[in-house]
Structure 1
Amino acid sequence: MASAVPAAMERPHFIGIGGAGMSGIARILARRGAEVAGSDARESETAASLRALGATVHIGHAAGNVAAATTAVVVSSAIRADNPELVRAAELGVPVVHRSDALAALMGGLRSIAVAGTHGKTTTTSMLAVALTELGLDPSYAIGGDLAGPGTNARHGEGEVFVAEADESDRSFQKYDPEVAVVLNVELDHHANYASMDEIYESFEAFAAKIRPGGALVVGEHEGARELARRVAAARDDLTIVRVGEGADSDARITAVQPRGMTSEVTVVLDGAEHAFTVSVPGRHYAHNAAAALAAGARAGVDPSALAKALTAYTGVGRRLQLKGEAAGVQVIDSYAHHPTEMTADLEAMRGAVGDSRLLVVFQPHLFSRTQELGAEMGQALALADASVVLDIYPAREDPLPGVTSALITDAARTAGADVTDAPDKAAVPGIVAGMARPGDFVLTMGAGDVTDLGPLVLARLADGA
């Protein structure tokens, strides 16, 4: 089993070390004994936890942060070419490594399971990581969110399995060569990098082409995933393809999803045997995620009956319908959903869980390009809530686009009959929401940006009597 530190990663420097993907890789390297350093724009719990592992974490980006002894500078696609630390790396002749290459190096020599898809990959990866850990298999994992139990997004284990979330947004998932690959769904997103569905399919086909000979591809019930399966089957006859879903053509067939408040009881038939277990989050799409985790683990050689029982140990992952707290009879839940499909799925799941209670949503659009292409669909999704508050667009790595504002969403929402409040002043949102909410309501903060920070502030305003 390979778990040593690759030579190029002995003294790495991470630009943006606090990010979900970057921090996980840094955490594993630190556990393996590397001298990890990096920088981030602001102080955070993640930065503190990395320091506790022995990493050097600078706040703010500066050329002086990159030491002369650095063996590699690790970057994500979000790092701009004029970043002073990237410029300094060039001056020092230090190799620049994309985070996907760093992660691929960490997976080298291990039995890897890579989970991809436009939606649901963090949850599915988390479910599998928790279940394998519960079974004592001591896996390594790298996930795009913090697990509720361990409170971390990555772990270095001594076992032979490495479970990784595989990001399609910048095609970086094509760097991996998993034994088992999971593709939950294939849908047009990341419009700055993909111009059409043809390009999306080409990217996912390239990912599937890297599956090790004799390996397996697990696909969800989404039509895009099934189309990918058809294309892969035509190109490779050495792979086992496992279709997950509720239809009769499914190899891992979901035969029952019984809601139980904020949980679900799920039954899956795999290889002729029935497996029943509890999923700790509501909604059919999370049941599908769990079934995909079950199928992937089984194809990696794990006993499916034991794995199904172990899936019950999964208690959630940060920002995936995560309960943030309750005050004045109002529960605040946090959701990472930012694509219309994800938004609709989480809103439908919450509608089923809350019954006749009111559902209030605080939504922050993510990326100008995504809002330009999908703003109308986002607005239509918000019609599933009883009332919504919509913030300005969170730009992340993008520059503004002319004419692209949150109005594209709020106009569509109102056309669909939704009750929507515009909130360009983020600081005013906790007061707005506390004034709207009444005992028995549920508040859902939704989006991939910093809208998650508002949940505790809303709770504080509610506790103070608004």
Structure 2
Amino acid sequence: MAPGLPTAMERPHFIGIGGAGMSGIAKILAQRGGKVAGSDAKESATAEALRALGVTVHIGHAAEHLADDASCVVVSSAIRKDNPELARAAELGIPVVHRSDALAALMDGLRPIAVAGTHGKTTTTSMLAVSLSELGLKPSYAIGGDLDAPGSNALHGEGDIFVAEADESDRSFHKYAPEVAIVLNVELDHHANYASMDEIYESFETFAGRIVPGGSLVISSDHEGARELTRRLAGSVRTVTYGEAEDADVRVLSVVPQGLKSEVTVLLDGQELTFAVSVPGRHYAHNAVAALAAGVALGVPAAELASALASYTGVKRRLQLKGEAAGVQVIDSYAHHPTEMTADLEAMRAAAGEARILVVFQPHLFSRTQELGKEMGQSLALADASVVLDIYPAREDPIPGVTSELIIEAARAAGADVTPVHDKAEVPEVVAGMAKAGDLVLTMGAGDVTDLGPRILDRLAK
């Protein structure tokens, strides 16, 4: 039976309640009986989904939005110190809680699975949430993306398992104490918070050190960063490796593409197990194997979990088909790091056959573009043609000299066909002039490029 509501969370106020991580915690607190309120910069489907649960959602940030009797104010690392609601909390003496502490409090008393890694966290967390639910285990979960509808990124379940996405970007995953932790991969990212790979490794070592006694670390045997982390941990935690390497504990024997799906065969405890993955690409197949290994480490029968994994049909923005018009399919990709971009483009190339692949790419963060702009451009060379937008700043201020031109130059140097577009409103017309029946169009990036999919489809339909 899941625990009740932490006392400090009875009347929480969330600043930025519409964000993927924040909205999930708010949803679970509301489902546990909390009187939840919050604010966000703009209206959204997520805000409406929260209101349907009885959550008070204010639009815009203002001191008067914070109720005097709030038990705490929940913030993420993206909230600036001059936020008026944060200032009002200080005046009233209301405790300020980081979202990771709020999530850790929700997991207390349960059997947490924490999913970490530079790429693939949302997909793997979603796969576990869906498959464990399919088996009737009624898990709670908090995911960094919606499964099939706005607000479906989190659920308060009646069972004793809690599946959570563990974010390394601001070291907040150090707050969790999982029974099973997953590390999918380890790469240098989030350059505003990490200066080197050594700092990244140290952060992941701290995360692994938080696993409860008797718990397990499920970690890739293929990814060099993950293998280095395993070496650094040197047996300090029970480790279960997965992947195509011959020494993997859960060895991937084959990944067979079947259109926009895959069939995966693994060797587990001396037995071969074959199951379907309803999203394309080798990297998503490996995410499914990580989910399988984690569930088995928690005591779920392997054959049952493998069968249940087939019920996962995807998460929004992870190679999500948005529709088709004039014979052109439009697919949305959250990829924003070169490794993710390459993986998604290779997956689409394997699934598309002879079809052309056109990409609308929006770089995410000035710091990431400064460090990885060249590699982003090289990834775009895998497409037949690309449109590149201006950088989506998110929480960052501009960096002098850092623009999308860094990516465009690198892409052209790699032989890519690239068209820069500075006004998003022009993209549907540009794409309509490029696309032909049979083509695949990918809107790619972690910002608001996702909004362009429906507009491109509308323009193609005319």
Q: Which SS does the other structure have where 1:87 is aligned? A: helix
Q: Tell me the amino acid that sits aligned with residue 228 of structure 1.
A: L
Q: What is the RMSD of the two structures over their aligned residues, measured on CA atoms?
A: 0.9
Aligned: 1:287 with 2:285: yes
Partner of 2:140: 140
Q: Tell me the amino acid that sits aligned with residue 130 of structure 1.
A: V
- CA offset at residue 226 of structure 1? 1.3
Partner of 2:70: 70
Partner of 2:310: 312
Q: Which SS does the other structure have where 2:78 is aligned? A: coil
Partner of 2:24: 24
Partner of 1:85: 85
| Paired residues of 1:149 and 1:315 also in contact (CA < 8 A) | no
Aligned: 1:326 with 2:327: no
Partner of 1:257: 255
Q: Which moved more, 1:312-321 or 1:269-278?
A: 269-278
1:355-370 matched pairs, under 5 angstroms? 355-370=353-368
- CA offset at residue 150 of structure 1? 8.8
- Find the aligned partners of 2:133 and 2:64 in 1 and give their Cα distance: 40
| Paired residues of 1:363 and 1:446 also in contact (CA < 8 A) | yes
Q: Which SS does the other structure have where 1:73 is aligned? A: strand
Partner of 2:94: 94
Q: TM-score, normalised by structure 1?
A: 0.98
- Find the aligned partners of 1:50 and 1:106 in 2 and give their Cα distance: 18
Q: Which SS does the other structure have where 1:50 is aligned? A: helix
Q: Which SS does the other structure have where 1:218 is aligned? A: strand
Partner of 1:271: 269
| Paired residues of 2:10 and 2:34 also in contact (CA < 8 A) | yes
1:61-460 matched pairs, under 5 angstroms? 61-148=61-148, 152-220=152-220, 221-234=222-235, 236=236, 239-460=237-458
- Find the aligned partners of 1:225 and 1:300 in 2 and give their Cα distance: 21
- CA offset at residue 240 of structure 1? 2.1
Q: Which moved more, 1:449-458 or 1:148-157?
A: 148-157
**Stretches of 4+ aligned residues off by more than 4 angstroms:** none
| Paired residues of 2:265 and 2:275 also in contact (CA < 8 A) | yes
Partner of 1:33: 33
Deviations 1:193-246 (A, max 9, x none): 000000000000000000000110000121111111122234x1xx32111101
Q: Tell me the amino acid that sits aligned with residue 348 of structure 1.
A: E
Q: Which SS does the other structure have where 2:3 is aligned? A: coil
Q: Which SS does the other structure have where 1:417 is aligned? A: coil
| Paired residues of 2:46 and 2:150 also in contact (CA < 8 A) | no
> 5+ residue gaps in structure 2?
none
Q: Which SS does the other structure have where 2:233 is aligned? A: helix
Q: Tell me the amino acid that sits aligned with residue 197 of structure 2.
A: M
Partner of 2:52: 52
Q: TM-score, normalised by structure 2?
A: 0.99
- Find the aligned partners of 2:359 and 2:2 in 1 and give their Cα distance: 46
Deviations 1:345-389 (A, max 9, x none): 000000001010000000000000000000000000000000000
CA, structure 1 residues 401+149, in 2 after alignment: closer, same or farther (shift >3 Å)? closer
- CA offset at residue 444 of structure 1? 0.2
Deviations 1:144-167 (A, max 9, x none): 011137961001000010000000
- Find the aligned partners of 1:210 and 1:73 in 2 and give their Cα distance: 26
Q: Tell me the amino acid that sits aligned with residue 241 of structure 1.
A: T
Q: Which moved more, 1:92-101 or 1:149-158?
A: 149-158
State how many pairs are aligned.
461
- Find the aligned partners of 1:307 and 1:321 in 2 and give their Cα distance: 23
Q: Which SS does the other structure have where 1:433 is aligned? A: helix
Q: Tell me the amino acid that sits aligned with residue 87 of structure 1.
A: A
- CA offset at residue 143 of structure 1? 0.3
| Paired residues of 1:2 and 1:108 also in contact (CA < 8 A) | no
- Find the aligned partners of 2:98 and 2:194 in 1 and give their Cα distance: 19
Q: Tell me the amino acid that sits aligned with residue 443 of structure 1.
A: V
- Find the aligned partners of 1:264 and 1:312 in 2 and give their Cα distance: 10
Partner of 1:9: 9
Q: Tell me the amino acid that sits aligned with residue 293 of structure 1.
A: A
Q: Which SS does the other structure have where 2:234 is aligned? A: helix
Q: Tell me the amino acid that sits aligned with residue 255 of structure 2.
A: V
- CA offset at residue 3 of structure 1? 2.0
- Find the aligned partners of 2:2 and 2:389 in 1 and give their Cα distance: 46
- Find the aligned partners of 2:91 and 2:428 in 1 and give their Cα distance: 46
- Find the aligned partners of 2:175 and 2:151 in 1 and give their Cα distance: 27
Deviations 1:65-109 (A, max 9, x none): 000010010000000000111111111111000000000000000
Q: Which moved more, 1:184-193 or 1:269-278?
A: 269-278
- CA offset at residue 268 of structure 1? 1.1
- Find the aligned partners of 2:3 and 2:352 in 1 and give their Cα distance: 45
Q: Which SS does the other structure have where 1:376 is aligned? A: helix
